[in-house]
Structure 1
């Protein structure tokens, strides 16, 4: 019975839930308890069938999760909780998660579900953009064998940022040119093979530890640290 959501968080989440008394059709029973069930699954890494009876029937909870996923409810909740980003500067980085064998075999093949074979076996790559405080703003899922820079364009599209911090995996000419055109500061570690090195702000680069901290917090949730979802929609 160790719940996660605070009253302040729930007040922002509640308007975006399905099955509110004001919605047409059937009302959902205790949306807050259902969200706690989802968080319990993600935090513990357990199968849905092992959901404690406290949260109700596991099958009903899973079908509800699927309905909310299809209706983009979780996306609206994420947007509501991350809508006050501090974009004085942003940070980009990527992490790899191993895919459990239960997370393989979805229709369309692995690559269509952001799964690829890398040195770690079957993996998914999470490319994330955080704000100046290390809070998640956007993310992209890629097969584990794709290069980090592939996910950058949709992350920075339409975002006004003062600077972009990244490690040398993101030292690509097109990223530097894009930031220069926007008038944003480039704080990206230089690849050893770059002919003409760019001078970067070494002190500002140290702040990049905040996105590493974000990934550490993210992987405290076991269903993210090891992917068990067959579809990229469910994993996202």
Structure 2
């Protein structure tokens, strides 16, 4: 399936401390957060569906449920804030935001040969007439003048 996507031991020392401790559900003991976190990274990096998560990260449904629980409780927001503060102290670390990344005009999906985007009025004029009457009757211009 390819190369394993994960974190180094040094990275895990920082990230692992930011994740909440898991408690077992029922009679099952809780498992370590690292394979679950690495599975979430695999999904984010590959863009695959949860069901396609390799078995080495655990059952896809378990990883997904833990991911949803962390999202709803704000674990990732707190992690980003803490890592941002740590990176702010370290001048060698940089973070990039999608708002500063510019895409080439070919990447936005504009069809070649269109000089300007179509306006809504142009689309309405080009569309076939509707078979249902308008909901509001038109007021004649002679009556309003």
Q: After TM superposition, list the pairs within 5 Å mapping 1:135-146 onto structure 2.
A: 135-136=94-95
| Structure 2 counterpart of 1:40 | 42
Cα separation, partners in 2 of 1:86 and 1:16, compared to 1, 3 Å: closer
User: How many residues are treated as equivalent by the alignment?
Assistant: 97
Deviation of the 1:61 alpha carbon:
1.0
Richer in strand (by share): 1
Deviation of the 1:86 alpha carbon:
4.5
Separation (CA, whole Å) in 2 of partners of 1:84 and 1:17: 16
Work out whether 1:52 is the aligned partner of 2:54: yes
SS at match of 2:86: coil
Richer in helix (by share): 2
SS at match of 2:41: helix
Cα separation, partners in 2 of 1:134 and 1:84, compared to 1, 3 Å: closer
Q: TM-score, normalised by structure 2?
A: 0.54
Structure 2 residues not aligned, in runs of 5+: 104-145
Encode CA deviations 1:30-89: one digit per residue, 9 max, x unaligned.
2011111001001111000111111121111111100010111112222222213449xx
Encode CA deviations 1:132-165: one digit per residue, 9 max, x unaligned.
767238x69xxxxxxx7xxxxxxxxxxxxxxxxx
| Structure 1 counterpart of 2:18 | 16
Separation (CA, whole Å) in 2 of partners of 1:19 and 1:134: 28
Q: 8 Å contact 2:50–2:60 — kept in the other structure?
A: yes
| Structure 1 counterpart of 2:65 | 63
Structure showing greater relative contact order (alpha-carbon pairs closer than 8 Å, 6 or more residues apart)? 1
Q: 8 Å contact 2:39–2:57 — kept in the other structure?
A: yes
Q: 8 Å contact 1:86–1:133 — kept in the other structure?
A: no
| Structure 1 counterpart of 2:140 | none
| Structure 1 counterpart of 2:6 | 4
Cα RMSD (Å): 3.3
Structure 1 residues not aligned, in runs of 5+: 88-130, 141-147, 149-210, 217-236
| Structure 1 counterpart of 2:85 | 83
Task: Answer with 54-63 or 32-41: which moved more.
Answer: 54-63
Deviation of the 1:7 alpha carbon:
1.5
Q: After TM superposition, list the pairs within 5 Å mapping 1:72-111 onto structure 2.
A: 72-86=74-88
Task: Answer with 76-85 or 2-11: which moved more.
Answer: 76-85
State the structure with more CA Rg: 2
Deviation of the 1:28 alpha carbon:
3.4
